[in-house]
Amino acid sequence: MSVFAKIISREIPGDIVYETDEVIAFRDTNPKAPTHILVVPKKPIARINDASAEDARLIGTVLLTAAEIARKLGIDRSGYRLVINNGRDGGESVPHLHVHLLGGRALSWPPG
């Protein structure tokens, strides 16, 4: 069971900022920006490469949820970044699909 699944099931605490029946969002414990929220589908999909066509609506919900949270936190006006890591070389550290919502400062390009 991934650390995200344990947060979803409340086995371990998380600083939850948003939750529905399908999605949960919480603050990253090792933030890379002033605002660093993880938006996670509750359905256990290991990574974007493992998603199927039947997951398309859920993935859309995850992305739209990130945009809604950005608006609520006021970072939509200055800008923000959404990141999905896939695999070791892509920076994936937790095998549960999630979107990083990063903002609150200017973000450089290209990323690390």
Note whether 42 and 90 are within 8 A (CB).
no
Judged by phi (left if over 0) then psi (alpha if -120 to 50, else beta), residue 104 lies in: left
Active-site annotation holds for 98: yes
Q: What is the largest CA-CA distance in the chain?
A: 37
Contact by Cβ (8 Å): 44, 96: yes
Q: List active site positions.
A: 98
